[in-house]
Amino acid sequence: MMYKGQPASPGIIIGKIFVISKDIKFSKSEKIKASNVENEIKRLKQAIEKTKQDVLLIKEKIISDIGNKDAEIFDAYILFLNDRSFVEKISKIIREENVSVEYALQKLLEDYIKLFNNISNSYLKEKIVDIKSLFEKIAKNLSEESSELFPKKGKWVIVAQELSPADTAEMDKKNILGFITETGGVTSHTAIVARSLEIPAVVGLKNITQQVKKGDLVIMDGEKGIVIINPDTNTLEAYKKERLKYLIKIKLLKKLKKLDAVTLDKHKIILNSNIEFPEEVAVAKEHNADGIGLVRTEFIYINRTNLPTEEEQFLIYKSIVEKMAPKPVTIRTLDIGGDKFLPYFKISPEQNPFLGLRSIRLSLSNPSIFKTQLRAILRASAFGNVKIMFPMISTIEEFIEAKNIVNEVMEDLKKKKISFDEKINIGIMIEVPSAVIMAEELAKKADFFSIGTNDLIQYTLAVDRGNPNVAAYYNPLNPAVLRMIKKTVESAHKNFKHVSVCGEMAGEPHLAFLLLGLGVDELSVSPASILQVKRLIRNINFRDAFEVAETVLKFEKTEDIKEFILTRIKSYLLNK
Ligand code: PEP
Ligand code: MG
């Protein structure tokens, strides 16, 4: 059976499927024989013991992966699991009502939900999410079929409805060959994480979790978005050859590691890396990136129960900055909202979160969180070359307000004689059409621009970047998008400011070629894309890129633009 989804992270793999099912089945058959009561209680105790071990492992893993010593929720889980009255409450339901442990668990959970619904303190009320998650872990451990939510040994291709940032942090990456998800587009969280970890992924494959079971053999081509379940021998053999070719290509790419991103006509292109997790700094360095063009600081805020302190943030930023010094590191302030949420910082429900209180808007409406982050970034700026970048600026006022807050924080640091880079560059992400339209005015006030094409495409074309139903409309080569980029570059250059592109578009070689032709000064791509973009740069003439961009800017249709560029690119890379 062959399926076609969105190609989210390249690579060809052949492996076995592991389905992650979040909807835990509590028991349908409630009644048990009286003689089975003690056995049910024994099952309960075993499941609790197993859950305790799981929780401890997850806690250790999160601490070592994210460096977050504050994985407190897991301590709370352990306390809960060790609480004798918890076991007694469930045992009592089993004994008195002659019901299965699954049924008793569900009943107790419902009681908790009712109880929490009556709590008025919204912070406490949210805690029910954690309790539910713990109950799910216990229920999963009761099931004989599979006691694992995520694989703990072996190598698997993960199939899931969707994967949250917390899920991907919790999984042990050494057990993962690939990701296949039902939701998500090329710029969804799963796709970005997969690319940064160099794990092949196909997303947006509706209902795939219903079509497969654990252990099914799967072929997956992350570059073409192809997924083949239980292939016949001929297909399998053909893909084994494809996989070999792919591995050779990767091996050749690795030879470019130490080389510079210079065009045939000797034009040096600034090729930076985005980072999503601190561990990626090492890959960026290994691939000789010119700097970090985007630090997505969200990783510091997720998978914990409270906000990170200034000191915690400072230590993380400082470590990245010192490792990269003297190369620049552009730190983006918190970009929460849209499809990224914090469990402990809830905003009131919104009909359109992507148009809601997200990103810089959230920072400006929570100045103390914003100031804590800015103090940490500014303090880290004393240890290398740091730039600050604000996401999703949509008005001049917003930028002025954000900069004023930076100035306030700077004044305070000066008073306290804490050192920082007083000349630090402050730039903005261009992600909203209004920012493009006001780009000339913004360029007078900002030190640099970085175009976030993931969002700019979604807002320009009114296409949700994570919705597979409209994925066909989400096209970086749409002429409207190209004209937006062109206008941004012209406005910045008129004011002698640099423009970078840090959206996923910059990591696709043929699109990177076009971006250079549109006059973009720097590219910032995921660590996994550095080498393929470098390969392209080393095989083109800079002036050809301009000529191609000039031609396609006159085209009206996306397809015409795509065809023209791909034909040109093929001729450059032929036999390379
Ligand atoms: C973008 O929107 O292009 C971008 C780089 O930001 P994010 O993907 O984190 O929204
Ligand atoms: Mg964005």
**Between vectors from CA 283 to CA 202 and to CA 267, what angle results, nearest 5°?**
95
- When pLDDT is cut at 50, 70 and 90, the band that residue 22 belongs to is low
Task: Look at residue 359 and tell me whether its pLDDT is greater than 60.
Answer: yes
pLDDT in tens, 303-354: 677 899 999 999 999 999 999 999 999 999 999 988 788 878 878 888 899 9
Report the pLDDT averaged over residues 128-150: 73
Distances (CA, A) of 558 to 25, 38, 472, 564: 46, 67, 11, 10
- When pLDDT is cut at 50, 70 and 90, the band that residue 516 belongs to is very high
- Active-site hit among 267, 493, 498, 502: 502
Cβ–ligand 1 distance for 500 under 6 Å, the answer no
| Residue located nearest, by CA, to atom 8 of ligand 1 | 454
CA 69 to centroid of ligand 1, rounded, Å: 27
Report the pLDDT averaged over residues 102-106: 88
Residues 6+ apart with CB under 8 A from 183: 161, 162, 203, 204, 466, 468
Domains by residue range for the chain, with CATH: 1-239 (3.50.30.10), 264-572 (3.20.20.60)
d(CA 187, CA 199): 15
Cβ–ligand 1 distance for 335 under 6 Å, the answer yes
- When pLDDT is cut at 50, 70 and 90, the band that residue 31 belongs to is confident
Of 502, 523, 538, the closest CA to residue 289 belongs to 523
Could you check whether the bond before residue 476 is cis, i.e. omega within 30 degrees of 0? no
Token pair for residue 323? 């490792």
CA 369 to centroid of ligand 1, rounded, Å: 21
- When pLDDT is cut at 50, 70 and 90, the band that residue 456 belongs to is very high
Q: Which of 11-25, 83-97, 255-269, 456-470 has the lowest average pLDDT?
A: 11-25
**Between vectors from CA 437 to CA 433 and to CA 438, what angle results, nearest 5°?**
115
Cβ–ligand 1 distance for 521 under 6 Å, the answer no
Strand duo 270-275 + 176-181: pairing:
unpaired
- When pLDDT is cut at 50, 70 and 90, the band that residue 180 belongs to is very high
For a substitution probing ligand 1, which of 187, 195, 295, 456 has the most ligand atoms within 8 Å of its CB? 187
Residues written for the chain: 576
- When pLDDT is cut at 50, 70 and 90, the band that residue 150 belongs to is confident
Token pair for residue 80? 């809960």
Looking at per-residue pLDDT, the higher value among 144 and 504 belongs to: 504
Task: Look at residue 26 and tell me whether its pLDDT is greater than 70.
Answer: no
What one-letter code names the amino acid at 58?
A: I
In 278-423, which ranges are continuous DSSP H helix?
A: 280-286, 298-301, 310-324, 360-365, 367-380, 396-415
Q: pLDDT value at position 193? A: 79
Report the pLDDT averaged over residues 45-49: 89
Task: Look at residue 44 and tell me whether its pLDDT is greater than 60.
Answer: yes
Cβ–ligand 1 distance for 162 under 6 Å, the answer no
Q: What is the pTM assigned to this prediction?
A: 0.72
Task: Look at residue 73 and tell me whether its pLDDT is greater than 70.
Answer: no
Q: pLDDT value at position 241? A: 93
Cβ–ligand 1 distance for 458 under 6 Å, the answer no
- When pLDDT is cut at 50, 70 and 90, the band that residue 483 belongs to is very high
Task: Look at residue 159 and tell me whether its pLDDT is greater than 90.
Answer: yes
Q: Hey, is 374 helix, strand or coil?
A: helix
Report the pLDDT averaged over residues 450-470: 94
pLDDT in tens, 405-444: 999 999 999 999 999 999 999 999 999 999 999 999 999 9
Query: Catalytic site residue 287?
Result: no
Task: Look at residue 491 and tell me whether its pLDDT is greater than 90.
Answer: yes
Q: pLDDT value at position 344? A: 82
